[in-house]
Structure 1
């Protein structure tokens, strides 16, 4: 029965691929079902080439807000570039699987070396926001990283206490005001936590969470984001 069901699923997917082929989100060219962009458009993505344990622009920005160990950003989040379109596909167009693709791009580029974190913590959505979107855009991303690097992902360790509109719908002045607060669901200590978010803009969200974590004895914080806004 299991083999039969697996066959049905495979056949159904083949039919869907024929009727509704996957297309590059940038140029609309037909591409394989498990990728986001064609090879030509892939070359247009502005990857940062940061080293996790070295000094970089993201780490410098975080230092102004909270004590940080290391930092990594996958892409530059510039106006009208492809990375912005990719993030918007993930967050606002119900393409949750984009998170897995992005995670695979990270694993191709990120080596923790001797600074491997103890725990992965993705920024939580308010339950109302998660219900509206249908998923947390960071969970599949973090889960894929967790499986690759063999680091536990504690998606319920932090909760968001207040509901607010999406960052993309708020102007820069609004984002400078910290309206959302976070709290830990359990006490932690002696942990090196890797905070995961989609885009680093002002850094206020990550800073709020980081200071909650740093209340625990001997905790350390590092940061990983899909993209970094200049």
Structure 2
């Protein structure tokens, strides 16, 4: 296409021209710090979750370190209108995450407040979640959880504010006896995930597992 000639797709890290359906070149891809977590085993994110709420299984795709490539990837997804990054990261996830014979019943991503959704134009987790849903044949529900309060982006808050539970969530439907996989982009303190998890756990005889694109260690 003409646009591809004048505006070629470039590697997010080194700026080399790459295929249109890629995010980074092969050389830079090797620089991404994948966690190599096993969904069923104890890992760092599971240890952190267990301090906050009863959790079944956990998986983080990447390490979210200062100045590393995973930070650039998620920043582009959230703040540079590159919703397609969610599909690429989901493809990386499916290559590394095996539910075996214990798939969750439902995929639920952390919602944005309607005002934030209008400002951004999309929820950065929706395409990611939908891609996983199609690959694993697990249904998703973008309406199950409602965010009740609007606030500034998590990345703009200082550490103390992130430690406080600024957002509250509510369940919009009756749900019981389900194993819910909660999906978020970055796990920092875990307060957001924990707030949603407790709403799900209180709603009925449910179980909660967690999947995030990256964990901030």
Q: 1:171-197: CA deviations, max 9, x gaps?
A: 111111111100011110000000000
Match of 1:177 among 156, 164, 167: 164
Q: How many residues align?
A: 217
Specify the alignment match of 1:228 in structure 2: 215
- Of 141, 150, 162 in structure 2, the residue corresponding to residue 163 of structure 1 is 150
Query: Structure 1 residue 121 and structure 2 residue 108: aligned?
Result: yes
Q: Mark the runs of 5 or more structure 2 residues left unpaired by the alignment.
A: none
Shift of 1:114: 2.7
Query: Where in structure 2 are the equivalents of 1:53-72 lying within 5 Å?
Result: 53-72=40-59
The reply on whether 1:49 has 2:36 as its aligned counterpart is yes
Q: Could you give the per-residue CA deviations for residues 123-169 of structure 1, whole angstroms, max 9, x where no partner exists?
A: 00000001100100000000000000000010111010000000111
CA RMSD of aligned residues (A): 0.6
In the TM superposition, residue 115 of structure 1 has moved relative to its aligned partner by: 2.2
- Is the partner of 2:203 in helix, strand or coil? coil
Please state how far the C-alpha of 1:105 moved relative to its aligned partner.
Answer: 0.2
Equivalent of residue 147 in structure 1, options 134, 154, 159: 134
Which residue of 15, 21, 40 maps to 2:8? 21
**Pairing of 1:202-213 with structure 2 (within 5 A):** 202-213=189-200
Which one has a bigger Cα radius of gyration? Answer: 1
Q: Identify the residue that residue 90 of structure 1 maps to in structure 2.
A: 77
Note the alpha carbon deviations across 1:9-35, whole angstroms, 9 max, x for none. xxxxx1111110000010000001111
Q: Aligned partners of 1:149, 1:84: CA distance in 2, in Å?
A: 26
1:10 matched residue in structure 2: none
Instruction: Tell me if structure 2 keeps the 8 A contact 1:24–1:38.
Output: yes
Distance 1:163 1:199 in 2: 19
TM-score between the two structures when normalised by the length of structure 1: 0.93
Once residues 211 and 4 of structure 2 are traced to their aligned partners in structure 1, the CA distance between those partners, rounded to angstroms, is: 33
Q: Please list every run of at least 4 consecutive aligned residues from structure 1 whose deviation after the TM superposition is greater than 4 angstroms.
A: none
Q: Which residue of 1 aligns with 2:176?
A: 189
> Residue 65 of structure 2 corresponds to which residue in structure 1?
78
